[in-house]
Amino acid sequence: MSDTQLWSDSTDYMEGLLAPADPVLDAVQQAADDAGLPRISLDPLQARMLQILAGAIGARRILEVGTLAGYSGIHLARALPADGRLVTLEIDDLHADVALANFGRAGLAGRVELRRGAALDSMAALEAEGCEPFDMAFIDADKLNNVNYLNWAVAHSRPGALIVIDNVVRGGQVATGSDEDPSVAGTRAALRMAAEDGRLEATVLQTVGRKNFDGLCFIRVRSGQ
């Protein structure tokens, strides 16, 4: 049996135990497929991990950079209290339309604020409006701007906040590839910031599964910074 098949079989087993079928999430994925959106969202176990972490830290305000069809956003919003808020940023209008329908399908429209446009523009608008600090952020958008998204998230997070960045391993290319690849360069810049910025403490969880070899970076904004 190949390593890839073993990883896939193990993922199936773990999902069967810990991420059982959910009719709402099934409908969310079907809507994304019907609209032709790429299957690049978190897998069920990873999305469930985000939901557990958001609940564990008692998050009331969460920032998401990159909405896609709303799959990860639904997990994050489910962890919020009734008066909590997920602010999710999406540049693609089709993705935003599908996601809004999916948030409604999940009964979460009242907890979600979706902002359309380039994420850095939306961040500038949020700052101009005097947005309240966030308790958690999930960054899963264009990798070139990872460090810019991280820098903004840190500046607008409360002490003790959790920031998660997806796709930080990229099949090993972040360690071995060339900076000529914008995704590699952007991810490396974010990892360097996570490692060197005194306001932060961070680690990376490398993952294997149906999507082969990748990883997530977990960053905590230190208290007292």
CATH number at residue 40: 3.40.50.150
pLDDT value of residue 224: 60
Query: Range of 187's domain?
Result: 3-221
pLDDT value of residue 211: 75
Rg (CA), the chain: 17
DSSP secondary structure code for residue 180 in this structure: T
User: How many structural domains does the chain have?
Assistant: 1
Q: How many CB atoms lie within 10 A of CB 130?
A: 6
pLDDT value of residue 158: 98
- Regions in the chain scoring below 50 on pLDDT: none
Contact 220, 162 (CB under 8 A): yes
